[in-house]
């Protein structure tokens, strides 16, 4: 077996099986994943784009399907995980038509029906009301009647709403209502679910979408999972050691100087009150793939349209003044107000959630946090 650090650098692949079987580099996150699935059953996690949320979901899918052989050599293989197989219901909300609530509901219906057929269940023959809550409820109940609890993995849970910022508030609210009913149906069928994960970029209208879903374990600001997504400094120096040596030689500087330069450009994302910071994985993979050129890779992969829309429309208030103000811990766990998205406070919250701002320092005496750009890449790109 080829050592992980000697494999091809991965970029753009979110299939764990493809990465491992085709000799791509996988930075092992199965130890915190094991801790997560051993201690929680209903989880909510938001992180900026390109931080590996889809790869996390794919990894969980492989684990919950009991594919033990795939994980040989990884941290979870050395644990007491039982590798029981579960039916996996996996939804990526960013791939579902979201032009209007009717189109979204229709596509979500067909997606759930297709998943049912793959699991050997014809949902149309079992439901009278043709809507997403009925389909997902019947699928979960039928699988449970067969003696199987399900695993539900939902990627980009917020996309149908946040992706509709430019269509107006009324349309966003209607989309919220469709999503709310769907997510409430998951809560109603909690007894049929072994594990549930919702991921996305923002914490948008959580009180509306998830009203009644008080069983969700929100791990966004949990220091135990601050490195669940993203590469730590140890990850970078361990998995990219030969590339670091080559980069230092290319620039004619010491290994330590090169590491510090990489850190200045791409490290700095902080998601809890611990001191742990992480790199955006896409930055690291692209940087070492592109012969160590110091440019803004993450920004080049695309700025979210909803953020461009808000910034170009101008915001009420002074963002710079807002950035100078310390934040309470509740700020990082608060929800975007759809009706005041262009206010300076909401825009700063959105910039934090989407990765353009991060925690800079913690004032322990006053229990307050200060924000800043995470690194040179984002500073340069955002100002331009």
Tokens of 92: 């990526």
What pLDDT does residue 160 have?
87
Triad 14, 153, 191: Cα angle to 5°: 160
What pLDDT does residue 38 have?
96
| β-bridge partners, 195 | 151
Its pTM stands at 0.93
What pLDDT does residue 316 have?
46
Using the Cα atoms of residue 31, residue 217, residue 157 and residue 377 in order, give the sign of their dihedral. negative
Q: What are phi and psi of 255, to 5 degrees?
A: -60, -45
What pLDDT does residue 110 have?
95
Residues 1 and 20: their CA atoms lie apart, in Å, by: 10
193-200/150-155 β-pairing: parallel
Q: Distance between the two ends of the chain, CA-based, in angstroms?
A: 45
Q: Which residues contact 383 (CB under 8 A, 6 or more apart)?
A: none
Residue with tokens 């849970």: 157
Domain 4-220 has CATH 3.40.50: yes
Do 32 and 228 contact (CB within 8 A), yes or no?
yes
Tokens of 208: 């509306």
Q: What are phi and psi of 131, to 5 degrees?
A: -145, 160
Residue with tokens 């269940």: 121
What pLDDT does residue 20 have?
95
Do 150 and 192 contact (CB within 8 A), yes or no?
yes
Residues 177 and 101: their CA atoms lie apart, in Å, by: 9
| β-bridge partners, 197 | 43, 153
Residues 36 and 55: their CA atoms lie apart, in Å, by: 15
Nearest to 334 by CA among 227, 207, 156, 173: 207
Number of alpha carbons in the 13 Å side-chain half-sphere of residue 34: 15
> Which uninterrupted H or E stretch holds 376?
helix 376-383
Task: Give 190-201 as a DSSP string.
Answer: GGGEEEEEEEES
What pLDDT does residue 317 have?
52
Nearest to 14 by CA among 62, 60, 65, 54: 54
For 377, other C-beta atoms within 10 Å of its C-beta total 24
Tokens of 223: 């220091």
Helix, strand, coil percentages, rounded to 5, for the chain = 50, 10, 35
Nearest to 101 by CA among 123, 131, 77, 129: 131
Residue boundaries of the structural domains of the chain: 4-220, 233-299, 303-383
Q: What does the pLDDT profile of the chain (384 residues) look like in tens digits?
A: 788 999 999 988 899 999 999 999 999 999 999 999 999 999 999 999 889 999 999 999 999 999 999 999 999 999 999 999 999 999 999 998 777 889 999 999 999 999 999 999 999 999 998 999 999 999 999 999 999 999 999 999 988 888 887 777 888 888 888 888 899 999 999 999 999 999 998 877 545 565 566 678 899 999 999 999 999 999 999 999 999 999 999 999 999 999 999 999 999 999 988 889 999 999 999 999 999 999 988 877 666 666 766 666 655 456 667 777 889 988 887 787 777 777 777 888 888 988 989 999 888 888 899 999 999 999 887 776
Residues 91 and 272: their CA atoms lie apart, in Å, by: 28
Residues 9 and 156: their CA atoms lie apart, in Å, by: 25
Residues 164 and 305: their CA atoms lie apart, in Å, by: 9
């Amino acid at each position: 077996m080829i050592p992980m650090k000697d494999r091809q650098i991965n970029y753009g692949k979110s299939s764990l099986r493809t990465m491992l079987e085709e000799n791509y580099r996988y930075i092992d996150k199965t130890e915190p994943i094991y801790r997560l699935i051993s201690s929680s059953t209903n989880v909510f996690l938001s992180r900026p784009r390109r931080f590996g949320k889809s790869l996390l979901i794919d990894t969980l899918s492989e684990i919950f399907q009991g594919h033990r052989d795939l994980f040989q050599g990884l941290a979870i293989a050395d644990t007491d995980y039982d590798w029981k197989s579960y039916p996996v219901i996996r939804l990526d909300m960013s791939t579902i038509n979201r032009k209007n609530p009717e189109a979204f509901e229709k596509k979500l219906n067909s997606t759930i029906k297709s998943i049912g057929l793959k699991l050997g269940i014809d949902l149309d023959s079992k439901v009278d009301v043709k809507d997403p809550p009925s389909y997902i409820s019947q699928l979960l109940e039928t699988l449970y009647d067969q003696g199987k609890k399900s695993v539900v993995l939902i990627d980009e849970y917020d996309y149908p709403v946040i992706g509709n910022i430019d269509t107006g508030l009324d349309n966003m609210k209607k989309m919220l209502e469709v999503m709310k009913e769907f997510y409430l149906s998951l809560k109603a069928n909690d007894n049929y679910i072994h594990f549930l994960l919702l991921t996305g970029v923002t914490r948008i209208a959580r009180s509306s979408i998830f009203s009644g879903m008080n069983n969700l374990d929100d791990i966004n600001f949990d220091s135990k999972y601050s490195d669940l997504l993203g590469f730590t400094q140890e990850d970078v120096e361990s998995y990219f050691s030969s590339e670091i040596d080559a980069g230092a030689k290319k620039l004619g500087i010491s290994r330590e100087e090169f590491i510090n330069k990489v850190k200045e450009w791409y490290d700095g994302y902080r998601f809890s009150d611990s001191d742990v910071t992480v790199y955006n994985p896409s930055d690291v993979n692209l940087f070492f793939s592109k012969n160590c050129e110091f440019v803004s890779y993450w920004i080049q992969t695309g700025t979210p349209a909803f953020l461009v829309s808000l910034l170009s429309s101008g915001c009420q208030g002074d963002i710079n003044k807002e950035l100078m103000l310390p934040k309470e811990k509740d700020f990082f766990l608060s929800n975007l107000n759809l009706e005041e998205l262009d206010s300076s406070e909401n825009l700063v919250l959105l910039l934090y959630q989407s990765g353009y701002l991060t925690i800079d320092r913690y004032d322990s005496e006053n229990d307050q946090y200060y924000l800043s750009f995470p690194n040179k890449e984002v500073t340069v790109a955002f100002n331009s």
